[in-house]
Amino acid sequence: MARILLAEDDDSMRAFLKRALERAGHDVEAVGDGVDALAALIADRFDLLLADIVMPGLDGIELARRASDDDPAMRVVLITGFAAVALRAHSEAPSAAQVLTKPIHLRDLVSQVDDILAA
């Protein structure tokens, strides 16, 4: 079981992802924006950050940079529904970050998260 911080500004998507990851056996803390995610990262330790790239306050790329600077061992997965944003993320995100493009099937997301945590 891994501790996962999920940062997603869409309420229904956040609830959907949280539920799927918890059913897979993970301990998930879910927040609605990058600012709250940064506060959670300061307050607690996580094995993986799963963050939407486009969020109010602090975007997922900057959040990933700060998380990686603070804890280089933490794995990072960024998700986006925009191809142009995905291209930008590949060039600006921490080098170890994975970028997934929506739509993504929950089964595939859980499988990829498990693979990343096992690596």
pLDDT in tens, 71-115: 999 999 999 876 555 556 556 677 778 888 878 888 888 999 999
Q: What is the CATH architecture assignment of 3-118? A: 3-Layer(aba) Sandwich (3.40)
Q: What ranges do the domains of the chain cover?
A: 3-118
- Write out pLDDT tens, residues 16-46: 999 999 999 999 999 999 999 999 999 999 9
8 Å CB contact between 114 and 75: no
How many Å apart are CA 72 and CA 58, to the nearest integer? Answer: 19
* Cα-based angle 86, 102, 43 (whole degrees, multiple of 5): 75
Token pair of 7, please? 């940062």
Distance in angstroms (rounded) separating the CA atoms of residues 95 and 97: 6
Is the Cβ–Cβ distance between 40 and 31 less than 8 Å?
A: yes
